């Protein structure tokens, strides 16, 4: 599976391409086997017919006196129209056979079997296929090209396309051989021995390429709306306000796009309602809290008045913290290219001017992000490292499309079971309360929400040599 492309377009293209290729290969194998079997049946039937004709001719010439044979052969040549070119020799003629194939071997074996079966007393015989160019036809060295055209034009094809000649030689008596030359009923039958020719392969390749190109266009047309939907979902998931997805295309995609647009509209209404709700809560709670503080001043008991003021201050702090958490997370701004290394260097200089110790290392790294939001998240992490760990070490690295930022402090660290709870609102450890009594425990939660909205991640862990390490991962292309 790891060799498959990650995109739906790539996977569908490979599957369809392999499917078309496998179908064509299977169809070609079946078709080739059918052609071969049909050619073998036809060649076997033709060989039986030729073998029978050769047996009849050999029997006829064997029954003739030896001195009559040349006269009959001369008459046959003048008359024309015979199946065989015939000559008589005192010895067998040496014929250069063609390279054997499975089909030619079937024909030769069939003819030999016919001669052996019907002429069992035949002393000797020879059967072979030969090309007509330079083919010897008599024991005096004469070749097919030396003969007059009238002698062979009705029996053998020598131009314009040459066809293999079936040569049958049989011994009629000592020093008496008959020479028979003929063509198969289908002279070019050997061309069917291998149906997979260059022309057919070129045609199959052209068909395969055409089908693959059409498949690629169809798959791309089908998957393009999914890519649009995926981009819209990713952008919306990272907090961007996007236009509704066009509800065009196939019925299934239209239904999906319509459901996504409805979900997006509901979530946007919920976010707007939440923002208005917190603004209303902030406005409505300030007045009763102020009234309670004024009434607390009228209490005569100092201890009771102090308890009331402490509770009211804590309530006001919690309300401000909740509102700050919502406002810091929902920073409405456009995404743009941000040089993280320059931003971190500037934050390190500002921290040093304020008396903090920040060490930064890293090369040039650019991400697509909301500048103020990402600055708020990283500022919260660095401030936490300075407040609770004394000093901070910031390291920025990039590999492929992934950016990793580590921020380490030199504090006492955090118990392993408390690492995940640090992101919860108002959760603070004893060391944190001692180091920063004015904090509310919202910084890490705000930072994680902002980083998640950019498609990244934030993990906390203890360093082996002491201190807490915050690891931030971002994507350079689509943060």
pLDDT at residue 479, as a whole number = 44
Delimiting residues of CATH 3.30.565.10 domain(s) in the chain: 333-475
d(CA 272, CA 113): 96
**pLDDT tens sequence for the chain (479 residues):** 567 777 777 777 788 778 888 888 888 888 888 888 888 899 999 999 999 999 999 999 999 998 888 888 888 777 766 788 899 999 999 999 998 888 899 999 999 999 999 999 888 999 999 998 889 989 888 888 888 776 766 667 656 678 899 999 999 998 899 999 998 888 888 876 666 677 777 887 888 788 888 878 887 887 788 888 888 887 777 666 778 888 887 788 888 888 988 988 888 887 777 777 766 666 667 777 777 878 788 787 888 878 787 777 777 766 666 666 555 555 556 788 889 999 999 988 888 888 888 899 988 888 888 888 888 889 888 988 888 888 899 999 988 778 999 999 888 888 888 877 777 766 666 655 555 555 556 778 888 888 888 888 898 888 888 888 999 999 875 44
pLDDT at residue 478, as a whole number = 45
d(CA 133, CA 161): 11
pTM, to two decimals: 0.47
CATH for 333-475 is: 3.30.565.10
Tally the C-alpha atoms within 13 A of residue 151's C-alpha that lie toward its C-beta.
Answer: 13
The dihedrals phi and psi of 436, each to the nearest 5 degrees, come to -145, 90
**3-state SS, residue 345:** helix
C-beta separation of 317 from 438 below 8 A: no
CATH for 251-328 is: 1.10.287.130
Angle between helices 371-389 and 443-453 (to 10 degrees): 150
For 111-160, give the DSSP string. Answer: HHHHHHHH-TT---EEEEEE-STT-B-STTS-BGGGS-HHHHTTT---SS
pLDDT at residue 428, as a whole number = 64
Delimiting residues of CATH 1.10.287.130 domain(s) in the chain: 251-328
Strand order in the sheet with 85-89: 85-89, 176-182, 165-173, 125-130
């Amino acid at each position: 599976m790891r060799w498959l492309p990650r995109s739906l377009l790539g996977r569908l293209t490979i599957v369809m391409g392999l499917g078309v290729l496998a179908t064509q290969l299977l169809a070609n194998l079946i078709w080739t086997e059918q052609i071969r079997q049909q050619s073998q049946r036809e060649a076997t039937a033709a060989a039986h017919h030729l073998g029978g004709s050769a047996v009849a001719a050999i029997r006829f010439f064997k029954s003739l006196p030896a001195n009559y044979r040349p006269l009959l052969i001369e008459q046959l040549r003048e008359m024309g129209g015979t199946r065989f070119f015939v000559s008589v020799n005192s010895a067998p003629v040496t014929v250069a056979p063609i390279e054997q194939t499975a089909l030619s071997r079937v024909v030769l074996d069939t003819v030999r079997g016919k001669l052996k079966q019907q002429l069992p007393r035949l002393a000797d015989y020879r059967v072979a296929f030969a090309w007509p160019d330079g083919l010897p036809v008599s024991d005096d060295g004469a070749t097919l090209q030396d003969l007059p055209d009238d002698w062979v034009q009705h029996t053998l094809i020598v131009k314009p396309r040459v066809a293999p000649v079936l040569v049958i030689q049989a011994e009629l008596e000592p020093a008496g051989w008959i020479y028979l030359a003929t063509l198969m009923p289908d002279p070019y039958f050997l061309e069917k021995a291998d149906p997979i020719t260059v022309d057919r392969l070129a045609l199959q390749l052209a068909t395969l390429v055409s089908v693959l190109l059409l498949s690629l266009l169809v798959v791309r047309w089908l998957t393009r709306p999914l890519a649009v939907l995926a981009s819209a979902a990713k952008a919306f998931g990272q907090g961007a306000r996007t236009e509704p997805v066009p509800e065009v295309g196939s019925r299934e995609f239209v239904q999906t796009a319509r459901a996504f647009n409805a979900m997006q509209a509901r979530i946007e209404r919920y976010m707007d309602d939440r923002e208005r709700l917190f603004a209303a809560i902030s406005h409505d709670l300030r007045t009763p809290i102020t009234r309670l503080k004024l009434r607390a001043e009228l209490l005569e008991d100092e201890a009771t008045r102090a308890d009331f003021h402490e509770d009211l201050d804590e309530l006001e702090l919690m309300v401000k913290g909740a509102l700050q958490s919502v406002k810091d997370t929902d920073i409405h701004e456009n995404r743009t290219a941000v040089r993280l290394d320059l931003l971190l260097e500037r934050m390190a200089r500002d921290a040093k001017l304020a008396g903090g110790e920040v060490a930064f290392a890293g090369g040039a790294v650019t991400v697509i992000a909301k500048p103020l939001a990402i600055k708020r998240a990283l500022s919260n992490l660095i401030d936490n490292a300075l407040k609770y760990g004394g000093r901070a070490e910031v390291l920025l690295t990039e590999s492929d499309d992934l950016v990793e930022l580590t921020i380490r402090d030199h504090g006492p660290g955090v118990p392993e079971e408390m690492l995940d709870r640090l992101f919860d609102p108002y959760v603070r450890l004893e060391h944190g309360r001692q180091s920063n009594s004015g904090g509310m425990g919202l910084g890490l939660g705000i930072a994680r929400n902002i980083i998640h909205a950019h498609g990244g991640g934030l993990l906390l862990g203890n360093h082996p040599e002491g201190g807490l390490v915050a690891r931030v991962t971002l994507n350079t292309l689509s943060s």
